[in-house]
A and B are shown apart, each in its own frame.
Chain A
Amino acid sequence: MTTPVLEAKSLTKRYGRVVAIDGSDLELYPGEILAVIGDNGAGKSSLIKALSGALVPDSGEIRLDGEPVRFRNPMDARAAGIETVYQTLAVAPGLDIADNLFLGREERRAGPLGSIFRMLDRKHMRSEARRHMSDLGVGTLQNIRQAVESLSGGQRQAVAVARSAAFGSKVVILDEPTAALGVKEGNRVLQLIRDVRDRGLPVILISHNMPHVFEVADRIHIQRLGRRVAVITPNSHSMSDAVAIMTGAAPPPEG
């Protein structure tokens, strides 16, 4: 059996008496899209935050390529190659597309201009940004210097996904990427997610949208009451099965 790229073992997180994650496991294998579904309060967000470094679990273990890792903050996880697109997108609306792609890891000019005057290499960052965007088939955004706030919801999502795909070397985590989008833009983003996987990056997709989950996911992780109750595939189960397991109306399948 192949080693999971990313693996969580009995993660636990408590807030006072509230248990957000109750000994949850998760495995993400190379080249797959793993959807994580669950009712509100099932601990999806907390689980994902633990994997992306935004939350430090009380106990349990996270392994990346089989090696135990500890993330104290999102920077640690990013340095390890895990890129997360949060539901809030984490983009700076006033900055342009290129600036947003390189936000937090700007590149400086070579030579004394960069080392002494700290001058950014805007030209290089813009051409790289253009390349990353067209790699993912979002080349229709002609102007890389356009402010992100002047983009539509789907375009902003595309910027955020492109950023994670450009810099994530191991895993891309997407939190509700289609939640605020119309049908057409939502489908476009689903295609982006497939493109990211086809470029060799495994994806964790958190979503409430069952049709979307069943359309793109290779496997579906069902979270309930803080732990993983089942892993199914779109072929083995129907959407209503998934919802039933998720809400506790049906028992989880054995094995």
Chain B
Amino acid sequence: MTTATDFEVRNRDSIGLRVQHVLHGNPVLGPLAVLLVATVAFSIVNQRFIAAANLSLVLAQVTVIATLALGQTLIILTAGIDLSAGAIAVFSSILMANFCVKAGMPGVLALLLGLACGTAMGALNGFLVTRIKLPPFIVTLGTLTIFFSLNAVVSQSETVRGADMPSLMTWTGESIRFGQFQVTYGSIVMLVLFGFFFYALSWTAWGKHVYATGDDVEAARLAGIRTGRVLFSVYTIAGLLYATAGWILIGRLASASPNVGTEYNLDSITAVVLGGTSLFGGRGGVIGTLIGALIVGVFRNGLQLAGVEVVWQGFAIGLLVLIAVSLDQWIRKVKA
């Protein structure tokens, strides 16, 4: 029990407590340290890792997952979870491709319509969570299955080649050079979105309401926040972000394939957790998620260059997730 009197702040904490407090105040520090240490370590093991070409590759590899994880972060901040993230992304990419190829739409129209469809899928999740009041896990488990099944129906299990689509569809896979670095337009879109949501979460009332709702939904409601609206907006916006990830996916694969993306859900959740966002809601942020996605990318790529077999990459990342969650539990126990 605390014996603090007269609302004064105590100043005699052990080192462990202080570390806990610092991490509590700056949840990005932990993941950032992991990312830096991993980068240095992999560079020592294999110097090719730090080469501009390889770092460019890592960034391109994490772009789709990072974009998905951005939407996932918003939902996890509200203490929810979205298992349908990957399904919405893949289904949206298939819809965009088929709008072009089968319906003969121009690229811009197909893109906008595809994004609208993804948004609608997110809104469906939001409707089920806020109106029917089902747990997010169950809702998105259901819609995950539904979207993948619709995906198979629409695509007829056929891959649409990028060459058959308008160039706007594969634009996200093209890149520009910054000195030695090659950055895809998809990565730039992703980074702009992260910047935008960083701003929205920390500088707008909507952002504060997202955190408050995730922290304690009843308290937020009593404080006058319309929590239903906040949750609905979060799921809907996440849908739009997943559809954007679908667009980036077309550029990355130079095709729209219905058979990819089964592992995207868990990868996006992994990135969020590694980035220090709490699965219990209200804690974390998008910068952490970007770092989390990069950690996954750096580990996969670095282990490969270090000659570690592919099967062990999953092992290492699983281990990281467990450490991250344990750390989160510890940080949340912070006391006055």
Contacts and interface: CB of A to CB of B under 8 A. Distances in A.
A103 B207 CA distance: 11
A246 B215 CA distance: 37
B222 A86 contact: yes
Q: Which of B4, B203, B204, B224 has the most CB of A within 10 A?
A: B224
Interface residues of A, number: 43
Interface residues of B, number: 37
A78 B218 contact: no
Contacts of A93: 215-216, 282
A228 B247 CA distance: 65
B336 A118 contact: no
B21 interface: yes
A152 B4 contact: yes
Interface stretch (A33-41, A139-147, A214-222, A229-237): A139-147
Contacts of B9: 140-143, 146
Contact of B7 (A86, A149, A150, A152): A152
Contacts of A122: 203
Given A88-B218, A92-B212, A155 B282 contact: no
Interface stretch (A59-67, A104-112, A198-206): A104-112
B224 A94 contact: no
Contacts of A149: 334
B310 interface: no
Contacts of B205: 106, 108, 118, 120
B132 interface: no
Contacts of A118: 203-206
Contacts of B224: 74-75, 78, 103-105
Contacts of A78: 224
Nearest to B200: A118
A147 B24 contact: yes
Interface in B1-58: 1-9, 21, 24-25
A193 B222 CA distance: 21
Q: Which of A104, A119, A147 has the most CB of B within 10 A?
A: A104
B229 interface: no
Interface in B191-234: 199, 203-206, 208-209, 211-212, 214-216, 218-225
Nearest to A142: B9
A188 B222 contact: no
B283 interface: yes
Given A150-B334, A151-B336, A152-B2, A104 B225 contact: yes
Interface string A133-161: 00000101111001101111011001000
A90 interface: yes
A141 B208 contact: no
B7 A92 contact: no
A150 B333 CA distance: 10
A94 B212 CA distance: 8
B217 to A, nearest CB: 10
A92 B336 contact: no
Contacts of B282: 92-94
A74 B1 CA distance: 34
Interface in A170-204: 182, 184-185, 188
A54 interface: yes
A102 B216 CA distance: 16
A91 interface: yes
Contacts of A151: 336
Nearest to A84: B222
Nearest to A141: B7
B161 to A, nearest CB: 41
Contacts of B6: 140, 184, 188
A92 B204 contact: no
A99 interface: yes
B208 A106 contact: yes
Interface in B113-133: none
A184 B225 CA distance: 33
Contact of B212 (A95, A155, A158): A95
Interface string B242-272: 0000000000000000000000000000000
| A-B pairs, 3 with minimum CB distance | A104-B224, A92-B212, A90-B222
Interface of A: 54, 74-75, 78, 84, 86, 88-95, 99, 103-106, 108, 117-120, 122, 138, 140-143, 146-147, 149-152, 154-155, 158, 182, 184-185, 188
13 contacts: A74-B224, A86-B222, A90-B219, A91-B216, A92-B211, A93-B216, A103-B208, A103-B223, A106-B205, A106-B208, A122-B203, A141-B7, A141-B9
